[in-house]
Amino acid sequence: MYNSFISIVGVIYHPRELELLPEYLSNLFPVLSEHFSDFEVVLVNNNPEASVPPYIDPLPDELKHNIYLLNLSRTTNRNHAILAGLDRANGDYTVIFEFDFYQEPETIIRLFEKTQEHFDIVYLRAKGRRVGFRFQPLYKLFYYLLKHYSTLKIDEMAHNTRIISRRALNSLLRLRENLRYMKAIYSIVGYKTAFLETDKPLHPAIDESFAERFRTSLVAITSFTTFLRSLLLWIFIFSVVFLLGVIVNALKVKFTGIDLFGNMGEPFSGWTFLVILIAVFFATTCLNLYIMSIYLSNIYNEIKQRPSYIIESIQRF
């Protein structure tokens, strides 16, 4: 038995996870009680319409006494729900344990043993991603931007399931960003990190729509990379080059009657070209305004300092 206090954080998003909850907890109990001197299970109910106690009440008292239930007042995004659980974890080590691994509770022991090799964060790494064919290029593009336009070291095959030491968790909780992307937060915190491979592939959550995934990726790109700033620079450079080309072409037609492409032209012609030019610059202006609006929106959300989540009630059993 390890002389350590361990916290397990589980987040309930979907009715299917609620149905799995008794087995999830029952599988955890023997592993935690046999291998650790003390433990707690922090459950975050991110589905306010669901009633969790009926699924916990039939369980043995020795298990229920270690359960800490947080009922959020409204559904929030997954990163904020995880943060709610991390805020209330008291263990020497904290494990974010997904319901995908409810039949593999021994995974917690594997993660903990890896931390004994002087690692502060250890996560599960998938060998593949189970996602629709049409979405695969989007995932590749998203992680390409994260890797090439930021200094963050993000593993695109990392599961949310991971173990975090107390000192790493304390540092992580100091980053109170309202726009959260947890994989980026882990990278910012740093500390020695390792992974364990698992055969279970990554997949989108049951109730996670494409719109929600798109918003999360947009938050990650605008908050943790310089991609859009670099894009603005290249748009500016292209606009300047294009403008110079137009000026040179106009002067050449005026003085020689021949444009840059060797075509005959007249100085007073160019209505079609002018329309195209206006359209291109109008589109470029709109793109610039859209990009700036994203940054302004992010700044606005940060300075409001709204809480990432609101707890409606706390229950012990």
pLDDT in tens, 3-15: 889 999 988 888 8
Q: Are residues 196 and 252 in the same domain?
A: no
Cα separation, 258 vs 256, in Å, equals 5
pLDDT score of 31: 86
In a domain, 138, yes or no: yes
In a domain, 218, yes or no: no
pLDDT score of 279: 63
Query: Which tokens is 273 given?
Result: 């070209």
Binning pLDDT at 50, 70 and 90, where does residue 304 land?
low
0.75 surpassed by pTM: no
Q: Compute the average pLDDT of residues 53-75.
A: 84
In a domain, 233, yes or no: yes
Q: Are residues 176 and 248 in the same domain?
A: no
Angle between helices 210-224 and 227-256 in degrees, nearest 10 = 80
Q: Are residues 291 and 310 in the same domain?
A: no
pLDDT in tens, 130-164: 776 777 777 777 777 777 777 777 777 888 888 99
pLDDT score of 71: 87
In a domain, 139, yes or no: yes
Q: Are residues 55 and 198 in the same domain?
A: yes
Q: Are residues 234 and 198 in the same domain?
A: no
DSSP string across 162-173 = EEEEHHHHHHHH
Query: Which tokens is 172 given?
Result: 């992580």
List beta partners, residue 123. 162, 195
Distances in whole angstroms, Cα of residue 43 to Cα of each of 10, 148, 311: 5, 36, 12
Cα separation, 89 vs 8, in Å, equals 8
Here the CATH number for the domain that contains residue 199 is 3.90.550.10
* Domain total in the chain: 2
With a cut of 80, say whether residue 238 has pLDDT above it. Answer: no
Residue % of the chain over a pLDDT of 70: 73
Cα separation, 216 vs 298, in Å, equals 12
Q: Are residues 195 and 113 in the same domain?
A: yes
Q: Are residues 157 and 133 in the same domain?
A: yes
DSSP state of 37: E
Residue % of the chain over a pLDDT of 90: 3
pLDDT score of 315: 63
Q: Are residues 167 and 262 in the same domain?
A: no
Higher pLDDT, 265 or 237: 237
Q: Compute the average pLDDT of residues 19-28.
A: 86
Backbone angle region of 305, left / alpha / beta, with phi > 0 → left and psi within -120 to 50 → alpha: left
In a domain, 179, yes or no: yes
With a cut of 80, say whether residue 40 has pLDDT above it. Answer: yes
**Mean pLDDT over all residues of the chain?**
77
pLDDT score of 163: 92
pLDDT score of 268: 59
DSSP string across 181-217 = -HHHHHHHH-S-EEEEEESSPB---TT--HHHHHHHH
pLDDT in tens, 186-223: 777 878 888 888 877 766 665 566 666 667 677 777 66
In a domain, 84, yes or no: yes
Q: Are residues 298 and 312 in the same domain?
A: no
Identify the domain containing residue 87 by its residue range: 2-208+306-316
Q: Are residues 256 and 196 in the same domain?
A: no
Cα separation, 294 vs 300, in Å, equals 10
In a domain, 203, yes or no: yes
Q: Are residues 174 and 243 in the same domain?
A: no
pLDDT score of 156: 77
pLDDT score of 171: 85
With a cut of 80, say whether residue 92 has pLDDT above it. Answer: yes
Q: Are residues 132 and 171 in the same domain?
A: yes
In a domain, 214, yes or no: no
With a cut of 80, say whether residue 307 has pLDDT above it. Answer: no
With a cut of 60, say whether residue 272 has pLDDT above it. Answer: no
